[in-house]
Structure 1
Amino acid sequence: MSKRVAIVTGGSRGIGRESAQRLAADGLAVVVNYAGNVTEAEATVAAITDAGGEAIAFRADVADAEQAEALFDAAESTFGGVDVVVNAAGVMHLSTVADLDLDAFDRMVRTNVRGTFVIARQAARRVRDGGAVITFSSSQVGLRTETYGPYAATKAAVETLSLVLARELRGRDITVNAVAPGPTATALFLNGKDEATIDRFKAIAPLQRLGTPSDVADLVSFLAGPSRWINGQVIRTNGGAI
């Protein structure tokens, strides 16, 4: 088999970028998927290659079936196949159920639910035996914090899809797990929050801090590599918040 290869969606920033860099450090060739910010995607690739790794950037809307297929095509034509898929692409709009704009809800459903499904469909068809599929949920599915309801609903769908897919891939030695971060210091989480709000989130976990992208990337690395007996699980990486 050629070198192991990972596709990381949403790989230009935040948890996706940290996961891409961590997998490259683990020895995988990485396809860094991005939706629009080519500068950030190229910065991720540069960080990987400067450290001696292999990576390319590839633009694709994860919810577009043809673009998702092209993303997997690029991984196969450049590096020879796909062994690991990390679907970290996601969007979040916070609002009470009563006040959420339906266009914002539709955008979350399109990226978080449809996007996860479209990428999972390609992964089910094309990940090589012995590989791993890692989706992203959220600890908000369990925390149920006010204004997170619509976002958490999309992530609950991701959890169900992931656990079913794990069973559908029976016999191929492919693991499927959902990572569910708690409050994590990313631009997506920090945007629009004042210091008092951030402090309240820090206090939720017994470790009394926000998670970091590298905390989550540690788990992604484990699920993508040495862990072969964890399958069909939702793993909450949140410092004990729930």
Structure 2
Amino acid sequence: MTFHRVPQLASVVIGAYNSARHIEEALESLIHQTYPHIEIIVVNDGSTDATDIVVKKWMEKRRNHPVIKDNRFVYHVLPHNIGYSGAYTTGYFLARGEFIATHAADDVSHPQRIEKQVAFLQNNLNFCLCGTALAWFNDGSFDSPYHAEFIKFGYQTIAGEYMSGGHCVCHGTLMMRGTLFDLLGGLERYPRGKMTVAEDYYFIRRYVLQGYSVDNLPEVLYYYRRYPEQRSQNGSV
């Protein structure tokens, strides 16, 4: 039986592991999106810090916001840490939207990010995935971002990059059609030692190499935070 997805709804999935320091800022950037048809799904991946407390306090503080009042905020706590791939795939399974977007718990989205990605997918029915240009900033220096140079544009260029083993779509910026996830599934978990932080790369590569079109919007609509403890800096999952 085909899963019935809610038309026009954009489900934004956040995988959160020990994200107490930054997750409120990520959530604030999402509830201030200009696109109104949004649900937010936070998967707490067995955090051992105050992530649970921070999220619940934020939910109480924002209890009158339409996303909270209309039951479009899902908070799912895993009993133990299952890792990056498992947390995001869990969130994707919980997503009800026609569109599914990814967001890191320590990053920030531009207010028009979701609106512009939805518009792209609605206006380009031959595309199934959409990323964006991004800038990175050192923690505490949001006003001094640096443009990320590895992002590439145009489906042929992007497909060629992945076929040659390169990487040019940031997982945090990604939006995909929910039906594509229903067809191909989520991130794969690799044994420790064989692979650590590349699950998101192989996830995007698998979709692209099966012929599903992807492009990056040229505007900077996502801001990637850099700090010593983050997953991509220390190789943890």
TM bucket by the smaller chain? 0.3 to 0.5
Structure with more strand by fraction: 2
Q: TM-score, normalised by structure 2?
A: 0.37
- Kindly indicate which of the two structures has a greater share of residues assigned to helix: 1
